[in-house]
Structure 1
Amino acid sequence: MRPHEQNPPSFGQEVERCNDNKLLQLYEAALSGSLPTLTMLIRNDPQILHRASLSSRPETPLHISALSGHLDFTKDLLTRKPELASRLDSFKCSPLHLASAEGHTEIVKALLGANKEVCLVADEEGRIPLHLAAMRGKVEVIQELVDAQHDSIRQKLNGSTVLHLCVQFNQLEALKQLVTLVDENQLLDYTDHGGNTILHLAVMLRQLETITFLVSVPEIKAKINVLNRMGLSALDLLNHYPRDSKSLEIGEILIKAGSRSTPIQSQLVPVAVGREIQVETVNSRSFTSGLKGKTKSVYQKCKSYFKHRSDWVEEMQGTLMLVATLTATISFQVATNPPGGVWQQDYTNTTAGMFNCSKDYGKCVAGTAVLAYVFPGNYLVLTIVAIISFIASLSVVLLAISGLPLKNKLCTWLMTIAMIIAITFVLLTLVGAIVVVTPDHIFSTIAEALDVTEIIWIALVGIVAVFATIRLLFWLFRLLTKLKHFLRKMLSRPLRNQAPIC
């Protein structure tokens, strides 16, 4: 049977393929900024820009050219087809959005000359070109966009003005530029959805340079105590942050500028988290009084950090007993069912092959461990660590059920050390079992992994042991201090009660 012969492509298909190739060349020319290629394509096909506008591609050649920063190519496209300036891509971005985000000032000027109304067009996320320029800190582009459409300054993104975006994205130079373009008397009228001014937001984000600049603006300084919708000034917001050196420095700047705290006991305070503003309930604390407070001594800070929770052992008593029982079971299992099993019957050197059964009884006794005859040293170590793990686990269980005062720091320390020993020797039991059952051809690889595991475990155990020991030492120090005061009081009492000698 003859194979089916395919029909040659029709004339319409050939034309469509040719047009697709031309469009591909047009987009490649836009990406590279090749003006001669654009001229040649339009000379050969004057309708190519119209077909590009009607094609299924989301971006036009002007989008690609504006994004890539090809000025001459962009100007030529705008001259031939100016309506491309208002076309939106799949993200509802115009060429002006892309050029503004990338900071191509001259291309922005050319696009604004074609259609300045695009300044107020928002993309699918609600951002106008000015928002993108402010987020990227493109100062020159900001000037051009505001000159073209001054009302774009008042356009909000998710409740935030372009001034707030400069603070949020830490673009100080862009903020300085916008401050000069806004009516000075209306600077603090620009608020977000929570009524926060740009000074409120700068304090929430703890931007020291931005705050220093803002309080240097006379109009902002004159209204520095303006309140947001929750009745908080900028200094009120700072009161609810950790009092580190940065917060102290910001507080001094605000106080010198004339800021004052609002006397409120508790309130809802917005807290900046990354790029989001969340709201949480906190208690009001006076920042100014914190500046005058005395710094705690090193001992008091360490004492607070290593403060012992007296009830955690009782809360975890059931869990500790469960873990201790589990580790005891593992150790017991290794002792009674060692790796390699036990002899099922008595063997001699003749019947046992390569194994040495001449020790002890002159034979390999049924029920004894095979490993004890093959690797007696390794078997002895494995058994010892299993016994230690078993005893330590039972010690934890015994302490938990003994009725001893578990809130006592010494009992807590003993239980912690016993648990560390139990878990550590369970790990050593595992290591010993792996060593004796691993064949020689992969033992080196396993040994490297075990070495890394042991180092990590030693580091973790060291941290826990040091932490528990330091807490015990703090408790002993306090106990000895109390005992010292008690003995001094007892020794001084007879002297006070002694009758005078005549």
Structure 2
Amino acid sequence: MSENQLHTAVLLGHVEFINRILTTNPELSKSLNSKGSSALHLASAKGHVTIVKDLVSVDSSMCYVLDGDGRSPLHLAAIKGRTVVLGELLKAAPPAAAVLTAAGESCLHLCVKYNRLESMKLLLKFLERDDKLLNWKDREGNTVLHLSVAKKQIEIVKYLLNNTRIEAESRNANALTPLDLLLQSTRDLRDLEIKQCLEKCRESVARNDTDISEINKTTKNSAKKKHKHTDWLARKRNALMIVASLLATVAFQAGLSPPGGVWQDDFSGNPNSTIRADKPHKAGQSVMAYTLPKKYGQYMIFNTVAFLASLSIILLQVSGLPMRKRRWMWTQMVTMWIAISAQTLTYFVTLVSMTPKHVERTVYDVAKISVMVWLSLIGVVFVGNASRCVMYLLRKYGYIAEKASEAIVNGEDEEDDDVL
């Protein structure tokens, strides 16, 4: 159904004309326009308080109706920040505050999504002790605290933590808490203040739920280890992303610009010549592929391995998968070793192919020594990480005494966490 007289009058804000229409034909308040919006939807979005009062006095059930976009009049008032209108709608139909959008979002989600703090405060007053709606999760498993932390809305985060019983440790569909989301997001000047608020709230909950002696003996150490574990993962993720991006850029450029460059013109070939360079070739093809085909094959294999390994790390980092375990980070670190090693071999192949015959022996000797040193370094790093893995498994399955385990956690493990 297209717009009727009531819809047009609401858009223009003609209060007296609207009263006449509602008096003579109140059923028009239930009619929907072509976008599925009622007159109450339009009045709520426009912020016409008097018209909203008149419409809900005729039929308050329209507060529950969703428009073509899956939103009720309360949703539109929250999105637009129409606080007074929102109050009138809540007075007329308090249960309408629990109506969800077609996307599974509550009014509180919309307030956070569009940064409407005052509207959110009003809704929370009406909800009072309705913790179910306060901690409601959208289709991605995010509570309003998850959204406010992701959007770096400091004022909303503080209000939720200080004035409501929001679950600060709730996990979304990716098993991430609000603090985990903060640590994985792009760095910002507001991060420190938000992090302090979340940690303070968590400590307060721990004090209320746990005995003081238990906090001193267990909770303090486990919280410290969890913080350290999360910080370690965040540092390693950032370092891997930077190094992987650099290696991918270098490998991509090396693939497009092989040693010796590319042919600048087409050549049909010289059938009487035994020189490889005189064979037929086309502009844009690699010169090295004709002059040194074996070394060119080695060059492209190592360079491609480095390129794909680097892209794999970047893909895992931006995929949004829940990689909060050390074993995932170790897998990415091994992939990075492969990428760096392949890039190193690419360099040596390039160096050898560009070296003249009269100094080729010297270059080979230097390359051998360099490769041996490089393999030794890789071996040391591998043994170090393998030792850490073994100690972790022994500690996990109880093969190490409790005191020795605590010494590892408080001493050796702190140093090992900074080793790539």
In the superposition, the TM-score normalised over structure 1's length comes to: 0.45
Amino acid at match of 2:76: L
Does residue 1:398 correspond to 2:342, yes or no?
no
Does 2:172 align with 1:172?
no
Contact 1:310 1:409 (C-alpha < 8 Å) held by counterparts: no
* Residue matched to 1:251: 195
**Structure 1 residues 231, 72: closer, same or farther in 2, change over 3 A?**
same
Q: Deviations over 1:343-402 (max 9, x none)?
A: xxxxxxxxxxxxxxxxxxxxxxxxxxxxxxxxxxxxxxxxxxxxxx96995346435544
Distance, in Å, in 1 between the alignment partners of 2:38 and 2:10 is 10
- Aligned equivalent of 2:246, options 306, 313, 331: 306
Decide whether the 8 Å contact of 2:77 with 2:86 is kept in 1.
yes
1:162 paired residue among 107, 116, 141: 107
Deviations 1:11-31 (A, max 9, x none): xxxxxxxxxxxxxxxxxxxxx
Pairs within 5 Å for 1:153-302: 153-157=97-101, 158-184=103-129, 186=131, 189-193=134-138, 196-220=142-166, 223-226=167-170, 233-242=177-186, 245-258=189-202, 289=229
Q: CA deviation at 1:300?
A: 10
Structure 2 counterpart of 1:490? none
Counterpart residue type for residue 82 of structure 2: K
- 2:94 pairs with 1:150: yes
Give the deviation of 1:72 after TM superposition.
2.8
Aligned to 1:443: none
Q: Is 2:51 aligned against 1:107?
A: yes
SS of the residue aligned with 1:74?
A: helix
Where 2:158 maps in the other structure, the secondary structure is helix
Instruction: Between 103-112 and 117-126, report the one with greater CA deviation.
Output: 117-126
Q: How far 1:150 sits from its partner (Å)?
A: 0.3
In 2, are the aligned partners of 1:224 and 1:234 still within 8 Å (CA)? yes
Give, as a single letter, the amino acid of the residue that structure 2 aligns with 1:165. Answer: L
Q: Distance in 2 between matches of 1:243 and 1:303?
A: 18
Secondary structure in structure 1 of the residue aligned to 2:3 = coil
- Asked if 1:124 corresponds to 2:64, the answer is no
Whole-angstrom CA distance in 1 between matches of 2:200 and 2:22: 54
Alignment of 1:94 with 2:34, yes or no, is no
* Distance in 2 of aligned mates of 1:204 and 1:77: 46
Per-residue deviation, residues 322-352 of structure 1 (Å, max 9, x unmatched): xx8xx7484448xxxxxxxxxxxxxxxxxxx
Q: Which residue of the partner structure matches residue 79 of structure 2?
A: 135
Structure 2 unaligned segments of length 5 or more: list them.
207-224, 269-281, 303-344, 355-366, 375-420
Residue matched to 2:310: none
Q: Displacement, 1:254? A: 0.5
In structure 1, stretches of 5+ residues that fail to align are 1-56, 263-284, 334-388, 418-475, 484-502
1:219 is paired with a residue whose SS is: coil
Distance, in Å, in 1 between the alignment partners of 2:17 and 2:350 is 76
Residues 393 and 261 of structure 1: CA distance in aligned 2, closer, same or farther (over 3 Å): farther
More helix by share: 2
Q: 1:138 to 1:329 in 2, by over 3 A?
A: same
> CA offset at residue 107 of structure 1?
1.5
Shift of 1:404: 8.2
Q: Which amino acid aligns with 2:117?
A: L
Alignment match, 1:27 = none
Closer/same/farther in 2, CA of residues 213 and 398 from structure 1, 3 Å limit: farther
- Deviation, 1:109, is 1.5
Hey, what's the Cα distance between the residues in 2 that align with 1:165 and 1:391?
Answer: 55
**Structure 2 counterpart of 1:217, one-letter code:** N
Q: Quick one: which amino acid aligns to residue 60 of structure 2?
A: K
| Conserved 8 A contact 2:170-2:177 | yes
2:298–2:349 Cα contact (<8 Å) kept: no
Is it true that 1:62 corresponds to 2:6 in the alignment? yes
| RMSD, aligned α-carbons | 5.0
Q: Is the 8 A contact 2:161 2:201 kept in 1?
A: yes
| Structural mapping, 1:363-442, within 5 Å | 393-395=286-288, 397-402=290-295, 406=299, 407=302, 408-410=345-347
Following TM superposition, by how much is the alpha carbon of 1:81 offset from its aligned partner in structure 2, in angstroms?
2.5
- Report 1 or 2 for greater relative contact order, CA contacts < 8 Å, sequence distance ≥ 6: 2
Q: Which has the larger radius of gyration?
A: 1
Equivalenced residues, count: 284
TM-score by length of 2: 0.53
Go from structure 1 to structure 2 and tell me whether the alpha carbon gap of 1:189 and 1:91 turns closer, same or farther (over 3 Å shift). same
Change (3 A) 1:237 1:188: farther
